[in-house]
Structure formats: C-alpha cells, structure tokens
Chain A
C-alpha cells in the first residue's frame, strides 16, 4: 500500500503540469456547463466534441516531434492534404469507404515519413525542413482541390459525428434500443475515436524502445547516442507518427464537413494552435517531458475557452483579443519558475 502511495506521489510530482492541466480542464468545463443556459445535455457534448477533434489530433501530432526537441510546422498542412484526399476517396460502397480511409491515413503517414527521412538523413533542423515540406503538402492539396468541395459519404458523416445510438442505428449493427445499450448510447462517437486512437496508438508506442528513445533524444541527444539507442529510427518514427495523427485530423475534418478545403490560412492557424495546445498540455518545448495525452487535454482547454464566448455575452469584436490574452497568460504561467530560481545560471538551458 505504501509502495503504491509513494509511486503515486512520484508520478504526481513528475507530471505536475499534466495534472494541473486536467484540473483546469475539469473546472473550466464544469463551470461552462453550469453557466450554459440549458444546462448539461448530450447534444451540447456531441457538438463540443465534434468541434474539438481536429485540433486534438493536431496537438497529438505536434507532441511527438516536440518531445524530440524539434517542431513540426507541417502538421496543419498534412491535415489539409489528408482532408483533400479524403474528400475525393471516402465514398462509394462500404468497402470503398474503408479503402478510402486507409488511403487517406496512409497519405499523411507517408508524408510524415518523408519529413522524418529529410530530418534524419538530410540532417536539417526540423523546424525549417517542415516549414518547407508544409508548403509542398499545401501545394499537393491544392492540386487535388483547387476550390473547396468534395463528396463524402453521407451515412458515415452522420454516423461518426453523432452519439453511439445513431452510429448503431445508421448501420443497423443490432437493436439500438436494447436495454443493455442504453447507458452508453449517449457517448459521442468523435470522443470515442479520439480516446481509442490516443490510448490505442500513443500509449503502446510510448512503451516501446523507439518511443522511449524519443524521450531520451529530447532530454540529452548525446547521452542517448552514447547509450546505443536507435536515434534515427526514433526520429523517423516521431515524424511518421505526427503525419499519422495529422491525417486522422484531416480525415475527421473531411467527414465532419463533407468536403475538402485547401486553405493555407487555416492550415497555418491549426499548426500554431497545435503548438499552443502542446505547451498548455504540459509538454516542454525543449523536449523530453510531456506526452500526447497531455496535449489532448491542452487542446480541449483551448477549445473550451472558446466555447465560453457562446454563452457569455461578450462583444464579438473583443473575442480574438480575449483568446489571445488567455493564450499569452497560459504560456506565461511557466514563468513562475524563473522567480524561484536562486542560481541564475540555471535559467539558461
């Protein structure tokens, strides 16, 4: 018992930023629902989760290169590329739809893999290499969709953006009104998708040698090299995984909006917001500390803050200003550390 308690205490101490982020999200969302004129309802939850999926996936995508101590400025562009690919291939018979989804995810993953190859074998700084490949991804997206539009299967669009009940009912998997199904029928499908991918892909990956090497590279690349860890494999894997997560975001965006849109401004905004979400979620931009689950929470915090504008009567013209101030305040929170530092040399790293 004492062991468990001390292990828990260590865990808490090592992940302070993560637990603070969770507490912040919980309180923000609780207050949001208390203030909501119609109170908590499943419909609001579904709407909220639909609007959060893309940025959550992008934040998770951004996390992996950030853990290496790099940045991936192409995640927004890869998402846009996947979005445009999906708007072409995700329709037809069920088999074709599944194939289309696989093609979409493979496109993003392959692009991320290419990023990894350029960073590792070209020995370029990730920030500037992905800045350039991001332009390439946007260019390819524009080739596919010069103007916004597309054709995504209506059933899948309906089924994946609603609650489990509609999902089951749309595809007639079993009797959606069955008694045992009632307690879980309200769960929004988008929420489920995010949780399944976050816990099904990220957590197992984190425990592999490659996953641990990513953390090691972010902490001290030289030491990781001397320990004989597979540096190149870890770096390539990090960017590939980033491409995969970004493609998940793009695929969902296509399903949600039933269209593809190669919007350069939107891609840039998503990339920058993903960095903000990563930082708010407790991952250090210096690398080595944090994780994708934290970034998921960080992205949700940023989204919930923007939900507030719908229920609080604030002049719409002031909304961007308040969003900006909140973001600035959130990232400056870490500054308290500098006030406690006694030896000034510790400030420079």
Chain B
C-alpha cells in the first residue's frame, strides 16, 4: 500500500490505521442512529464508558495474550483459565478469593510454559491440551453445573461498581495495561521477550535464558486471563461454565489487529489497546444496528481480513 501513508514506521502504521477505523465505526454507527432514532447515543460518554467496562475483560485477556504472541507462541488455554480462576475464586470466597484465582492462573501459566519451553511441545497443541484438562477439572469440580457460590463483595466492587463516575473495571484494565507496557518497554525481561520472539537461537547464543523467558511469559498470560476471569465473575455476580469461551478468538484478533506480528518479535502494546477498543466498538455498533448473529460473524471476519490486507502483509519469499 504505497499510496496510503508513506512516511510512517511499519510499527506505527497499524496503530494509525486502526485508530482511523475506530473513528469510521463511530461515524457509521452515529449516522445510523441519527437516521433511525434521531439521537447519537454512541457519542455520549456514559455509553462509551459502559462499552469500555465490558471491553476491559477482553482487554486484560488480550494484554496477556500479546506477551505470548510476541514470542511467536500462542495461548489457547485462556478460555478455561478464566473459568477455572473464576470458579475457584467464588468457591473459596472471602478475602482469599482473588489471590486464589490469580494463583490458579499463575500455575496454569507455569504448566503451559514448562510444556512449551522445556518439553518443546508446540504451544498451539500444548495449551490446547491444558485447556481441555482444565475443562475436565472444572466439570469434575462443579458437577457440570454453574456453581452456587456468589462472587465476593471485593470482586463485585472491582468489576461492577464505579468511582467518580468511571467504572472500576476500566481502572483495573488501565493498571494492568501500564504494568504490561512498562514491562515490555523498560525491563530486561520485556526486551528479552522481543529478542526471543525474533530468533530464539540468536537470543540463546547471546546469553538470554530463553526458556525462562518463555516460562515467564506464559505465567503473565495465565495471570492476566485469571484476573479477567475473576473480574468477569464479579461483573456477572457468579462463575458459570464456559464463561471464557467467547474471549479466546477476539483476544487473538485484537492483538493481531493492533499490529503485533503473529510470528513474534514485533508489536506495541498501544496497538493491542486500540485493537481491543476497535473490536468492542464494532460489536456494540453491530448490536445497535440489531444485526443478526449471521451478519455479525461475516462483518467481523471481513473487517479482520481487510485490516490485515492493509498493513499485515508478509514479505515475498526469497531464497
């Protein structure tokens, strides 16, 4: 796309284009509501904040997913990591609910990282196996029904209440975002993630303990997924079977739309943030238009393809 935006670094291009697309979505949605209802709810701060609140769960999952994708790996276990963390948190209850949930996420990440980094099983298949084991554990634990335990007040506060008119969930998302962004940009661990993602052999030969980097990244992803699960349980007041299923593919899509290379080694956190907002707004505009599920899926897929065709194209093969 030589004609589009010539003086832009390859890393920034996706971010600019995705931001522009967000404006397009808002414009189209507003034009639709103006023509049908004569009002513009999409542009009201209250509505946008509410959308961001529901988007914060996806945002937290995507933050962890991005760290793993930067390595050129993928974490397919986030769906049931979320569910397992939420279920165990509500089961334990009380003060320990959130720490237990996070600990579940960290241990899932530890298992994933061990399998991928030390056993060298492809992440695609190992995390898939861990996902089904987690599902099995949760079915055995709950008997296949939604557990009766309710979310603790703290979980409710974090996910569903507001401070100064802004939903708390957005603050949690913000804090996690800052932590991940600083970690990627300013710490040795973050730089090592990029280097390992670019070429693991070279990183290893430069003295980076690549296996620990991979292990650490999967733990980060597990913790993020667990946090999202705990928050989602707080938002819906309880944990239920399959609550994380709707998050896996949008999380991957958000990361990739934000310009992170699926093969690893390249991508900026701000891009992931914009990718999440894009997907959340796209979903809400489609639901305002009362688009049936069929149309949603088609548009959803087409948007991802078109965005990637604009800036996600790989290089031609040479020797």
Binding site for B on A (CB under 8 A): 71, 118, 122-125, 127-129, 131-143, 146, 221-223, 225-226, 231, 262, 264-265, 268, 272, 275-276, 279, 285-286, 315, 317-325, 327-328, 331-332, 334-335, 337-338, 344-345, 347-348
Q: Contacting A132 at CB < 8 Å: which of B128, B144, B305?
A: B305
Q: Are A324 and B134 in contact (CB under 8 A)?
A: yes
Given contact pairs A124-B309, A222-B318, A323 touches B121 in the complex (Cβ within 8 A)? no
Given contact pairs A225-B319, A331-B121, A345-B204, A324 touches B252 in the complex (Cβ within 8 A)? no
Write 19 A-B pairs (CB below 8 A) sorted by A numbering.
A122-B305, A122-B313, A124-B308, A124-B312, A128-B262, A129-B305, A132-B304, A139-B301, A140-B294, A142-B294, A225-B317, A264-B297, A268-B245, A275-B128, A317-B143, A324-B136, A327-B132, A327-B133, A337-B120
Given contacts A135-B304, A285-B125, A317-B140, 19 further A-B contacts (CB under 8 A): A123-B315, A123-B316, A129-B305, A139-B301, A142-B292, A142-B293, A221-B317, A222-B318, A231-B317, A262-B294, A315-B140, A317-B144, A318-B136, A320-B132, A321-B133, A321-B139, A321-B140, A324-B136, A335-B121
Q: Mark B120-157, 1 if CB is under 8 A from A, else 0.
A: 11101110111111111101100110000000000000
Q: Are A132 and B308 in contact (CB under 8 A)?
A: yes
Q: Are A124 and B313 in contact (CB under 8 A)?
A: yes
Q: Are A222 and B317 in contact (CB under 8 A)?
A: yes
Binding site for A on B (CB under 8 A): 76, 115, 118-122, 124-126, 128-137, 139-140, 143-144, 200-201, 204-205, 210, 242, 245, 249, 252-253, 256, 262-263, 292-302, 304-305, 308-309, 312-319
Q: Are A71 and B124 in contact (CB under 8 A)?
A: yes
CA distance A276 to B143 in the complex (A): 26
Shortest Cβ distance from residue A132 to the other chain B in the assembled complex, whole angstroms? 4
Chain B binding site: helix, strand, loop or mixed by DSSP? Answer: helix
Q: Contacting A139 at CB < 8 Å: which of B242, B262, B296, B312?
A: B296
Q: Are A123 and B296 in contact (CB under 8 A)?
A: no
**Chain A: which residue is nearest B248 at the CB level?**
A268
Q: Contacting B121 at CB < 8 Å: which of A140, A262, A334?
A: A334
CA distance A141 to B297 in the complex (A): 10
**Chain B: which residue is nearest A316 at the CB level?**
B144
What residues of chain A lie closer than 8 Å to B293, measured between beta carbons?
139, 142, 146
What residues of chain B lie closer than 8 Å to A139, measured between beta carbons?
293-301
Q: Are B292 and A123 in contact (CB under 8 A)?
A: no
**Chain A: which residue is nearest B314 at the CB level?**
A123
Chain A binding site: helix, strand, loop or mixed by DSSP? Answer: helix
**Chain B: which residue is nearest A320 at the CB level?**
B136
Q: Are B297 and A332 in contact (CB under 8 A)?
A: no
What residues of chain A lie closer than 8 Å to B125, measured between beta carbons?
275-276, 279, 285, 331
Q: Contacting B301 at CB < 8 Å: which of A135, A142, A262?
A: A135
Shortest Cβ distance from residue B310 to the other chain A in the assembled complex, whole angstroms? 10
Given contact pairs A125-B262, A146-B292, A320 touches B135 in the complex (Cβ within 8 A)? yes
What residues of chain A lie closer than 8 Å to B256, measured between beta carbons?
128
What residues of chain B lie closer than 8 Å to A337, measured between beta carbons?
120
Q: Are B304 and A285 in contact (CB under 8 A)?
A: no
What residues of chain A lie closer than 8 Å to B308, measured between beta carbons?
122, 124, 128-129, 132
CA distance A231 to B319 in the complex (A): 12
CA distance A124 to B309 in the complex (A): 7
Q: Are A327 and B129 in contact (CB under 8 A)?
A: yes
Q: Are B245 and A125 in contact (CB under 8 A)?
A: no
Shortest Cβ distance from residue B202 to the other chain A in the assembled complex, whole angstroms? 9
Q: Contacting A143 at CB < 8 Å: which of B130, B294, B314?
A: B294
Given contact pairs A122-B313, A265-B245, A128 touches B124 in the complex (Cβ within 8 A)? no
Given contact pairs A146-B292, A320-B132, A321-B139, A140 touches B298 in the complex (Cβ within 8 A)? yes
